[in-house]
Amino acid sequence: QKEVEQNSGPLSVPEGAIASLNCTYSDRGSQSFFWYRQYSGKSPELIMFIYSNGDKEDGRFTAQLNKASQYVSLLIRDSQPSDSATYLCAVNGGSGTYKYIFGTGTRLKVLA
């Protein structure tokens, strides 16, 4: 059973701090990795995707991928109360693989 694991949280950080969200996956052949944000009662929205080892930055968000260790992380700098949401990690196996496996999400609380 291919799995994606996330700590359910809640992860509480003060406003302005860096929030670090982690995700591990079991399928070593996975090639595409996504972070979605889901506000309560809303549908998931894409934050970032990453395909290659290393860091990818977009504004306050940085995705980090380490395929050897099979983990992907999301850093949120200068966290804001509006960042409070559940963050879902999703993994796709790549070429010829249709299935996206989602983690159960980490709930982030940014305290004002």
Partner 1 sequence: GAGVSQSPSNKVTEKGKDVELRCDPISGHTALYWYRQRLGQGLEFLIYFQGNSAPDKSGLPSDRFSAERTGESVSTLTIQRTQQEDSAVYLCASSRRTSGDTQYFGPGTRLTVL
The least CB distance from residue 86 to partner 1, in Å, is: 9
Under 8 Å between Cβ of 107 and 86: yes
Rule CB under 8 A: choose which of 2, 70, 102, 109 binds partner 1: 102
For the chain, give the number of residues.
Answer: 112
Residue 9 token pair: 């949280």
**Nearer of residues 16 and 99 to partner 1, judged by Cβ:** 99
d(CA 2, CA 24): 11
- Site for partner 1 contains 99 (CB under 8 A): yes
Q: Nearest approach, Cβ of 15 to partner 1 (angstroms)?
A: 25
Judging by beta carbons within 10 Å of its beta carbon (0-12, 13-18, 19+), is residue 82 exposed, middle or buried? exposed
Query: Which residue ranges make up the site for partner 1 (CB under 8 A)?
Result: 31-32, 34, 36, 42-46, 49, 51, 88, 90, 92-105
